[in-house]
Structure 1
Amino acid sequence: MNGTDSTAGTPRGEHPGLPDSAPGAAAGPPGARAFVNGKVFTGTGPEDFVSAFVVEDGHFTWTGPDEEVPAGLPRTDLGGATVLPGLLDVHTHPMFMAVLADSVPLLPPAVGSCADLVAALRAHPAAGADPEAWITGFGYAETRWPDGPPTRRALDAVSAGQPVLVRRADGHSGVCNSAALRLAGLDRNSPDPEHGHYGRDADGELTGELVELAAVESVARLVPEPDRAEMVRRLVALDRHFLAQGIVGLVECFGDFADDALGLLREARQQGWRPRTGVFLGWRPGGLPELTAQDRRGEITVAGTKLFLDGAFSNRTAWTDRPYPDSCSHGMRTCTDEDLLAAVAWARRNGVQVAVHAMGDRAVGHVVELLGDLEPWMGEHPSVRIEHATLVPAPVLQRMATARMVFGVVSHSIFFYAEHDAYDAALAPDQREHAYPLRSLHERLRHAALASDAPTTAWARADDVFLSVAAAVRRRDHGGGDFGRRECLSVGQALELYTGRAAAVAALPGLGSIRPGHEASFVVPDRDPFTVAEEELAGIGISRTWWRGRLVHDRGPA
């Protein structure tokens, strides 16, 4: 890749909004160029549009109506095409994507039963090879499975001798076979890890189920990791994936999926990785080393530190005020106030953010109460990000909006879309109506964003931005089930949460908006999201992606 134009040789006339006569459409010109006759969503507000803009030296220098374009500039006629700012995924996991590159994908809708899972794992390249080679998979979501969830017995049918480990789509749970349990030294007498537990049958025998990160890691730590060169190669390969989705900036929200995430991404940058990237480091008991100026400078930076305050709704480990239906459990709290406050102190000293995974209402409320009266330190950007925020009661949202601390929330529509059944089972009817309160977050909180959490999302196209936009606008799951229309967004609001507002939440200045001084990264979708029928939104793709004024992705004709 080496940072070259990936679309060299693509005929310019193969785009429905950029005709053959569009001069300079296939490259980033060294001088100023005007782009005219477009429907240009600026990302500065849900209804903010212009028809033209000027790009010079990789930045926007002017925006406005066609009739006011500065004279004397070469022009690219957009042919009426819709243009959006380069999209941002401010909670995703490229490091995990790279680690999982040799794992069998088990995501819905392709895998819909335990039998499907076993069949897919038997096709793993390592199956039947070296008896010490691991067979790994990722992405199962067992809620609707007719033959029940996977267990070690089911995975023993994949291989009785080779270790097998599969991770659930949420990343918080998994299951392994008997050989993997033996290698990990786990049996019926093994105590549960702190902040996690092992599944057991009625007789106390381990079922192979691994609930929450500590339990998963007790087995996953034995799986050999790819070497450094291979990790860099995999990351560089992901560059095309993100640009094809129109994503020009992102946040790796848990860099600890691999050692030295910052260094690996910076090496990948030298070999062709283009999205600007912030990295959150997992908080560790005892703290993190102090950052250097170099850690916070450049295109790949340390964005902050991340803690997990609870688990997930899909396995009923999110920390809730009410017990789960037909249960006395309130989920699981997974870090202490001492760690939260220590992380805040470290982030303040180092001028970076704190991200707190908090899904349940009790977890979200606790973050706001514990930190709400503290002095913020990140200027116009949130000092504390709350990740996911499935349940946000109105009083908690009001407290968040008026607190001394500057909070940001990164939430999702793709979760409900992919796992509506799991949420139906874990939430009471009145909670379901207000879960993932996207409209309330947009209207009442200055700093809010949408993101994918890919690949730890139970859907194969989790980081397809328009799938998330469709789910946020329609508030319907993949089967058509309603999940609370009162919290739906307009298309403009949803796209704002993937552009201008996302840049503010993630402290990615200069991205997310088409306005003077900002990086000239922008995309052309293959249909106009503002005029298509709602049911067509999820099918919209990205025809072209410009990165710093250069055309780097061209899908060709729609």
Structure 2
Amino acid sequence: MDATPGVISTLFTNAKVFTGETETTFASAFRVTAGVVDWVGDESAATGDITVDLGGRTVLPGLIDSHTHPALIAGTAPAAECFPPAVTSADDLVAVLRAHADGLTDPDAWVLGRGFDDTKFPGRRMPTAADLDRVSTTRPVLVWRCDAHSAVCNTRALEIAGITAHTPDPDGSRFERDADGEPNGVLTEIAAVGAVAAFIPAPTRDAQIDALVGLGEELASRGIVAVCDLLSTRIDDPVATFRTAVDRGLRTRVALYPGWDPVAPLADLAAGDREGQIRIAGVKVVLDGAYSNRTAWVHEAYPESCDHGLRLVDDADVLAAAEWARRNHVQLAIHAMGDRALDRVVELFADAEPWLDGIPSVRIEHATIVSDDYLARLRAARMSFGIATHTVFFFAEYDGYEKALRAEQVPDAYPIARLYAGLDPLALSSDRPATAWSGADDVMLSVEAAVRRRTYNGIDFGPEAAITVPQALLLYTGRARLLSPLEGVGQLAPGFDGSFAVLDRDVFTVPEDEISAVRVAETWIRGERFS
């Protein structure tokens, strides 16, 4: 097939091209003209002005991370990373934060960190203000837990926030306390964290923009060319900030989902907000907490407990967010992990009329416990539903799930094979940085976990839910594109962006226990090599 006359085209040849259309659709060559794929097939049948020999390597469509948090990363740019496997004790945490504090030149600057997982600490002990007072007693210190729902701060931070034994807990959250009723620095769930974090000076806008540009380069190094930011209001004026980052070199497509704040409801969207490389795609509501710290909202109490987790917003707020989404013709994304939270989503929306065509009107984020019955309810609903879920969660946070899940729930925990067979708008994703692992957005890590169903410490986790490598990769490409309005990505097919990743090994043939070692050698975005 000939290229478009008068337009420069590049023919990419000698490759094993996974097109992202089906589990078995491969090609050996494709052509990109003006940044868009206009032909895919056998290299003997095509021409181009320029030919690039890919050396027989495996090629994937540019990858989609359907649930991640660039704005959160940019808004906490000064924070030190405290993820496992580097940090596995309170002493490790203190050491990392001390080293970070030593590099701060402003004597009033907060010492910030993110990513610790107390379930990997000796005795699974949550650090407290007493631990962080070892970092500093004069500077405020705060470090977010790996789920990004909870945190711990030192005594100085509590003083700055004015939190005392007499301070009431925020709705749906807790200031944890010691035996004498004094706050111990542990901030459980978003509102409690926010009561302290509100006093942290935000990075400058230039620093946030620089962080976004740098993050785009990091994403490209992993083959990721498009993301959904599922809480974009962690920075001010996210549309303008991200678009300025584009002017400075950000090439990633970004779908923004601002968080719903019942106290300060979102303004209706302006012309152009839903269009372009950076677009508002929906609104996010956080209905419950997380399994890893037993705050997901559940029907039956957690093992050896009478605690049912936390519901963070009421029905009126969820419905108000849905009405805003309907009025502005964007998606409603609902964070729901516990089975009770998931049931409430269906109860609220199953019989409602969808308002979007081609993509789900309601996205369910995480969806930890999905039974056959629950999946049948989603399929039978009048509403159109989709799910963004994970394998990196059970891989990295097994210690937390071990103490949060009852044995009979494990077969329904992240049942990827069941979801793959039963729900077309489905994606795997990283939730970075709200995941207890350094490099959680390494797609190959998630693919290996999907295929092997084995945790970081070698424990089988619901092996009957395993899927194949092509199936897992479709959940980052062709199937992921059905979940959100990230146009032009997810396939190497005519009409799609000429964005793709070239691998250093063939992910389809390496041993299963070596999948996570596969690396992206090159990333091309709209026909140009980026990394």
Instruction: Answer yes or no: same fold by TM over 0.5.
Output: yes
Deviation of the 1:115 alpha carbon? 0.6
* 1:362-377 correspondence runs (5 A): 362-377=340-355
**Structure 1, unaligned runs of 5 or more:** 1-28, 554-558
Corresponding residue to 2:19 among 29, 42, 48:
42
**1:93 aligned partner:** 69
* 1:227-306 correspondence runs (5 A): 227-285=204-262, 287-306=265-284
**1:384 aligned partner:** 362
Corresponding residue to 2:40 among 42, 46, 63:
63
Counterparts of 1:168 and 1:316 in 2: how far apart (Å)? 13
Q: Which amino acid aligns with 1:486?
A: E
Q: Is the 8 A contact 2:142 2:151 kept in 1?
A: yes
Is 1:324 aligned to 2:302, yes or no? yes
Counterparts of 2:104 and 2:32 in 1: how far apart (Å)? 56
Is 1:190 aligned to 2:167, yes or no? yes
Q: Is the 8 A contact 1:126 1:133 kept in 2?
A: no
* 1:140-219 correspondence runs (5 A): 140-146=116-122, 148-219=125-196
> 1:460 and 1:314, CA in 2 relative to 1: closer, same or farther beyond 3 A?
same
Is 1:540 aligned to 2:515, yes or no? no
Counterparts of 1:299 and 1:166 in 2: how far apart (Å)? 32
Equivalent position SS for 1:102: coil
Deviation of the 1:131 alpha carbon? 4.6
Deviates more, 1:254-263 or 1:408-417: 254-263
Deviation of the 1:292 alpha carbon? 1.3
Deviations 1:291-313 (CA, angstroms, capped at 9, x unpaired): 11211121101111000110001
Deviates more, 1:69-78 or 1:359-368: 69-78
Equivalent position SS for 2:487: coil
Is 1:442 aligned to 2:442, yes or no? no
Deviation of the 1:129 alpha carbon? 5.7
**2:60 aligned partner:** 84
Counterparts of 2:47 and 2:244 in 1: how far apart (Å)? 42
Q: Is the 8 A contact 1:131 1:161 kept in 2?
A: no
Deviates more, 1:369-378 or 1:456-465: 369-378
Deviation of the 1:79 alpha carbon? 2.7
Equivalent position SS for 1:320: coil
Deviation of the 1:197 alpha carbon? 0.3
Counterparts of 2:46 and 2:436 in 1: how far apart (Å)? 48
* 1:449-464 correspondence runs (5 A): 449-464=427-442
**Structure 2, unaligned runs of 5 or more:** 1-5
**How many residues get paired?**
524
Counterparts of 1:436 and 1:491 in 2: how far apart (Å)? 17
Q: Which amino acid aligns with 1:385?
A: R
Counterparts of 1:490 and 1:309 in 2: how far apart (Å)? 32
**1:124 aligned partner:** 100
Counterparts of 2:306 and 2:214 in 1: how far apart (Å)? 46
Counterparts of 1:70 and 1:156 in 2: how far apart (Å)? 66
Deviation of the 1:34 alpha carbon? 2.2
Q: TM-score, normalised by structure 1?
A: 0.92
Equivalent position SS for 1:527: coil
Counterparts of 2:242 and 2:212 in 1: how far apart (Å)? 7
* 1:312-351 correspondence runs (5 A): 312-351=290-329
Q: Is the 8 A contact 1:423 1:432 kept in 2?
A: no
Corresponding residue to 1:427 among 399, 405, 415:
405
Equivalent position SS for 2:257: strand
**1:111 aligned partner:** 87
Counterparts of 2:370 and 2:48 in 1: how far apart (Å)? 53
Counterparts of 2:249 and 2:54 in 1: how far apart (Å)? 28
Counterparts of 2:154 and 2:14 in 1: how far apart (Å)? 59
Counterparts of 2:183 and 2:317 in 1: how far apart (Å)? 31
Q: Which amino acid aligns with 1:225?
A: A
Is 1:54 aligned to 2:20, yes or no? no
Counterparts of 1:64 and 1:550 in 2: how far apart (Å)? 20
Deviation of the 1:152 alpha carbon? 0.5
**1:556 aligned partner:** none
Q: Which amino acid aligns with 1:211?
A: T
Deviations 1:351-380 (CA, angstroms, capped at 9, x unpaired): 110100000111112101210111112101
**2:461 aligned partner:** 483
Identity of aligned residues (%): 48
Equivalent position SS for 2:530: strand
Deviations 1:130-170 (CA, angstroms, capped at 9, x unpaired): 55321111110011212632111111111112111111011
Q: Which amino acid aligns with 1:392?
A: V
Q: Which amino acid aligns with 2:352?
A: L
Equivalent position SS for 1:510: coil
Q: Is the 8 A contact 1:424 1:432 kept in 2?
A: no
Counterparts of 2:57 and 2:100 in 1: how far apart (Å)? 43
Q: Is the 8 A contact 2:11 2:48 kept in 1?
A: no
Deviation of the 1:127 alpha carbon? 6.8
Q: TM-score, normalised by structure 2?
A: 0.96
Counterparts of 1:174 and 1:265 in 2: how far apart (Å)? 27
Deviation of the 1:509 alpha carbon? 1.9
Counterparts of 1:113 and 1:540 in 2: how far apart (Å)? 30
**1:10 aligned partner:** none
Q: Which amino acid aligns with 1:456?
A: A
Q: Is the 8 A contact 2:77 2:208 kept in 1?
A: no
**2:51 aligned partner:** 75
**RMSD of aligned alpha carbons:** 1.5
Deviations 1:224-267 (CA, angstroms, capped at 9, x unpaired): 11111221122112221111011111111101211111111011
Deviation of the 1:434 alpha carbon? 2.0
Counterparts of 1:183 and 1:121 in 2: how far apart (Å)? 19
